[in-house]
Structure 1
Amino acid sequence: MKTSQRHFARLFAVLLAGACMAFPAAAQDFKIGFVNTERVLREANLAKASQAKLEQEFSRREKDLQTVGGQLKAASEKLEREAPTLPEAQRIARQRQLVDQDRDFQRKQREFQEDVTLRKNEELQQVLEKANRVIKQVAEAEKYDLILQEAVYINPKHDITDKVLSGLNSAK
């Protein structure tokens, strides 16, 4: 059995050496690109337009919430100042009213954040879909074999983010 194991090991070593010698030739024909998705989402005109659209869409609600928050804070400070001179029943009633108002305010804030997050994700998805179409067009036009969007390290010569930004910004 030892002879057959040695024979197998030699055969494996020969095949591995052949594969290693053939790899550099194949690697020269293999074209890799990299796209910095964060940069695309930060710099693309489409992404900037989506951000502006979201700000416009939610600015009034945000301002209303800030106003309500300020009113709630002022009412709380007023109660603190007046509490020592108020009859106990009136003080307790105002405290309950403030607690109810605060609970309602917290609920509205959560709903606002959920709505913003949902819309932001919808807009982000649209930008990413268009960016992926442009990436595919660049890859096909320039004969890339592989395009990466996340990497620990990438040599700048493989970065095609500027081409993708250019394609996105010129697309209608």
Structure 2
Amino acid sequence: MMHTPQRWLLALVLAIGASAATAQELKIGYVNGERVLRESLPAKAAQAKLEAEFKKRETELNDFGNKLRSLAEKLEKDSPMLAESERTRRQRELAEQQREFERRRRELLEDLNQRKNEELSRVTEAASKVIKQIFEQEKYDLILQEVVFAGPRVDITKKVIDALNAGK
């Protein structure tokens, strides 16, 4: 018999349910965290902020990439007519510029990922506060975020998104 995290969680829920069944019905909720990070207004605002913040660098990188493609095409077209030393010099320059392009692209991706993590962390933190409020106000026994299956009866994702959108 395998002891997966889901089996332990199921055993925990069943144990809680068995002990709570005598007193009252167990109240369980489920929140789809990915949906919260995709659909809530704070998440959309964070995405728009990142797009605005990185638009200039992305445009510059795309322009640089287009320039490199043009230079590579020109070199390929002119290559048969160039002296060996000139062709070698241009190939070296093109290779250096391609390395520079790759370096800039890596830096942009690293910076974007870091900022994305920072922004998503803020949204996740706000969502956690909202979930805790719902948990306390509506007297949930258990709210889960990662599950294999959850029915619509226990899915409180929309409630969390609505609360986030309202700034609660």
TM-score normalised by L of structure 2 = 0.86
- Give the % identical residues: 55
Matching residue of 1:16: none
CA contact (8 A) 2:20 2:26 kept: no
How far did 1:39 drift? 1.0
- Structure 1 runs of 4+ aligned residues shifted over 4 Å read none
Q: Which amino acid aligns with 1:160?
A: I
Relative distance call for 1:27 and 1:62 in structure 2 (3 A) is: farther
SS of residue matched to 2:147: coil
Q: Distance in 2 between matches of 1:141 and 1:56?
A: 37
| Aligned pair partner of 2:167 in 163, 166, 171 | 171
| Aligned pair partner of 2:80 in 72, 78, 84 | 84
CA deviations 1:86-122 (Å, max 9, x no partner) are: 0000000000000000000100000000000000000
CA deviations 1:124-163 (Å, max 9, x no partner) are: 0000000000000000000001110111101110011111
How far did 1:25 drift? 2.3
TM-score normalised by L of structure 1 = 0.84
How far did 1:31 drift? 1.1
How far did 1:30 drift? 1.9
How far did 1:29 drift? 2.9
How far did 1:52 drift? 0.3
Q: Distance in 1 between matches of 2:113 and 2:52?
A: 15
| Residue pairs, 1:73-112, within 5 angstroms | 73-112=69-108
Matching residue of 2:121: 125
Q: Within the alignment, does 1:155 sit opposite 2:151 as a pair?
A: yes
Instruction: State the number of aligned residues.
Output: 152
Q: Distance in 1 between matches of 2:23 and 2:149?
A: 19
Q: Distance in 2 between matches of 1:128 and 1:48?
A: 13
Matching residue of 2:7: none
Relative distance call for 1:133 and 1:88 in structure 2 (3 A) is: same
| Aligned pair partner of 2:109 in 89, 107, 113 | 113
Matching residue of 1:15: none
CA-based RMSD: 1.6
Structure 2 residue ranges without an equivalent (≥5): 1-14
Q: Which amino acid aligns with 1:98?
A: L
| Residue pairs, 1:45-84, within 5 angstroms | 45-84=41-80
SS of residue matched to 1:157: coil
Structure holding more helix per residue: 1
| Residue pairs, 1:7-18, within 5 angstroms | none
Matching residue of 2:10: none
Structure 1 residue ranges without an equivalent (≥5): 1-18
**Structure 1, 22-31 or 50-59: larger mean CA deviation:** 22-31
